[in-house]
Amino acid sequence: MADHAPSSTARLDYSKTVNLPRTDFPMKANLPAREPEIQRRWRDEDLYGRVRRAREGAPRFVLHDGPPYANGDIHIGTALNKVLKDIVVKFATMRGFDAPYVPGWDTHGMPIEHAALRALGLNRRDLSALELRHKCQEFALKYRDVQREEFKRLGVLGDWGDPYMTLHPEYEARQIQVFGQMAQKGYIYKGLKSVYWCASCETALAEAEVEYYDKKSASIYVAFAVTDGKGKLPEGSRVVIWTTTPWTIPANLAIALHPDFEYGLYDTPKGRLLLAKDLAAPSLQAFGVEGKLISSYRGSDLEGVLTRHPLFDRSSVVVLGEHVTLEAGTGCVHTAPGHGPEDFDLGVKYNLGVLNPVDERGCFTEEAGPFAGMFIEQANGPVIEAMRENGSLLAQGTLTHSYAHCWRCKNPILYRATEQWFASVEGFRRQALEAIKQVRWIPAWGEERIGNMVADRADWCISRQRSWGVPIPIFYCRQCGHYLATDATIDAVSELFRREGADAWWRYEADRILPPGVTCPDCGGREFRKETDTMDVWFDSGSSHAAVLESRGLGWPCDLYLEGSDQHRGWFQSSLLTAVATRGRAPYRAVLTHGFVVDGEGRKMSKSVGNVIYQGVRGRHPAAVGRVLRLQGRHPGFPRHPEATGRGLPQDPQHGALFAGQPPRLESGGGPGGG
């Protein structure tokens, strides 16, 4: 026995003391190397096609992909959205459904144009419309391919060989038809309104294209001397306004009071000043004076009082407005119809006219007198100094407040009264609100969120002063200016785009596009010019339910839209509006929203902000691990299809069943795609 005892210094190989199976399976996962091999096998074996063929004839479940912008690499936020969609589609497939997934890309508008011109180092003013369009298309196609490979690397299965893109001729043709259907129902009109305007991008913006950030602004109190008190206010007394946009003073035409508020005339060392009584104390403190109340009025008593403009030889009239509040200022609101929606409405009501002395680049025109040529923000100082010199400036300070900024360039924007094309949401608002109730919203608070947005929103400004996009298919009579949009002209444009794409709008003159023999219904004229504006990019993606679900035979409406919660004001809403306007109901049965990947400051990651993280979605790390890390939250319990299991459908107590034998009737309960 002693002869066979192991040496005390011998090393024992414990692997020989355990019975283990013999296998070629590697001890290390080595996912960065193994995953591409697995995905190549999926591609070579056409796994997506095989799954679809295996499910042929099964009940359909369609998740419609919200298209991300093809303007750069995907980031972690984009990956989160795509992975969630992939999990839902694969789960539906495993539960016995035929679940096609057609990925898409949003390829028009400022998100692409900004990125393309910046990357190529080009100035859009140096390019013709067609040259700019070709540069943008090349850029979008490049990043379509880049993102497609990145999504595939994440293990997302779908129809990658035939995705949809908003620049595809067939898509553009269907979008023109959606516009035409809305126009023929009277929902499209051209009007002069005060709209969001980005001076840097030189275009109008929609509500979904506006973001709010803190901005430090000048805060001023200005006195308007009374010239005709209408027997109420003594001449020489002064109506005091407060504003944080001194540059809008040259456009002032009126002063708004609330009809039901109490106002007082106060005797002060700076003259007799009219102030809302509830705001008199803080206002007088700001002026550095004390005041004695000498008379009182209701706002409605002072309608029609005339004052002298503090900079120009003209009158500013006192008008009444329900929008006036007592939250800040003086209760007397500076009113410039060219630079605010409420101001504009009052201008229409009181027939004040519209004074807009600011051009598309944000510079004053000759109408602004001595300030002509100045950029509006740079004009704040000269405007303030001019009022200081003539004694109308009572106090000056600064205020940091939330202010509207452009979603692409991130610069502050302004309201500017211009003629634009609008979709009349008011014309179908009630239908839209009813349609919202027929959709299942996950989480349930999504219904109230989008409902409030639709209930309160103004008409949709759909025109953009750009050339990279789908043109607004309108023609103008050269003789009388009447605009033309009939079934025949819409069909002609749609068929042309189907054959040649939207470039044809810039390639041909109007007579080459219009049907033969078209005449102006007003004057009989035969010569026309084309509209130069393009459609809002949200109209592009908002038409995808027609251009993809219907055109590809996926079924309309679809079962699910799945995007970040910012899309209640974006793609969910634009899709809802175009669908209700043309078809009378929502294009989706259910909508599921998820949260965002945020940066260290808690802000949503966004390429336009520049706070994104790309690491982990470019192949340097295992995609499978990345998918797991992006799924920290709980998703609804999805029941198996009864035909696949032979069992009934268990109901999640919060969400119920998303998947049913036939698409169920679901009761009410920062672009899409995380781009």
Cα angle 446, 448, 451 (rounded to 5 degrees) comes to 105
pLDDT at 604: 65
Cβ pair 336, 320 in contact under 8 A: no
Cβ pair 444, 636 in contact under 8 A: no
Predicted confidence (pLDDT) at residue 667 exceeds the cutoff of 50: no
pLDDT at 547: 96
pLDDT at 623: 61
Tens-place pLDDT, residues 473-526: 999 999 999 999 999 999 999 999 999 999 999 999 999 999 998 999 988 899
Please give the Cα distance from 417 to 430 (Å, whole number): 27
Please give the Cα distance from 355 to 338 (Å, whole number): 5
pLDDT at 605: 63
Computed over every residue of the chain, the mean pLDDT equals: 85
Taken in order 25, 29, 33, 35, the sign of the CA dihedral is: positive
Please give the Cα distance from 257 to 261 (Å, whole number): 8
Tens-place pLDDT, residues 644-654: 332 322 333 33
CA 341 to chain centroid, in Å, comes to 19
Task: Indicate the pTM of the whole model.
Answer: 0.79
Per DSSP, which regions of 458-506 are E strands? 460-461, 463-464, 475-477, 483-484
Tens-place pLDDT, residues 393-441: 998 888 787 888 887 788 888 888 888 999 999 999 999 999 999 999 9
Cβ pair 492, 517 in contact under 8 A: no
Give the Å distances, CA to CA, from 284 to 168, 257, 355, 545. 62, 18, 31, 58
Mean per-residue pLDDT, 288-300? 90
Mean per-residue pLDDT, 172-197? 93
Predicted confidence (pLDDT) at residue 4 exceeds the cutoff of 90: no
Q: Which amino acid is at 349?
A: K
Predicted confidence (pLDDT) at residue 328 exceeds the cutoff of 50: yes
Residue 144 banded pLDDT, cuts 50, 70, 90: very high
Give 203's strand partners: 198
DSSP β-ladder status, 558-564 and 63-64: parallel
Length reported for the chain: 675
Kindly give, in sequence order, each residue whose CB lies less than 8 Å from that of residue 590, ignoring residues fewer than 6 positions away: 439, 440, 441, 442, 559, 560, 561, 658, 666
Cβ pair 567, 66 in contact under 8 A: yes
**More confident: 114 or 274:** 274
pLDDT at 22: 77
SS3 432: helix
Mean per-residue pLDDT, 108-128? 87
Residue with tokens 């605009």: 483
Residue 216 banded pLDDT, cuts 50, 70, 90: confident
- CB-count burial class (<10 Å; 0-12, 13-18, 19+) for 559: buried
**Residue 66: what are its φ and ψ, rounded to 5°?**
-75, 130
Tens-place pLDDT, residues 50-102: 999 999 999 999 999 999 999 888 888 888 899 999 999 999 999 999 999 99
pLDDT at 248: 92
Please give the Cα distance from 179 to 473 (Å, whole number): 8
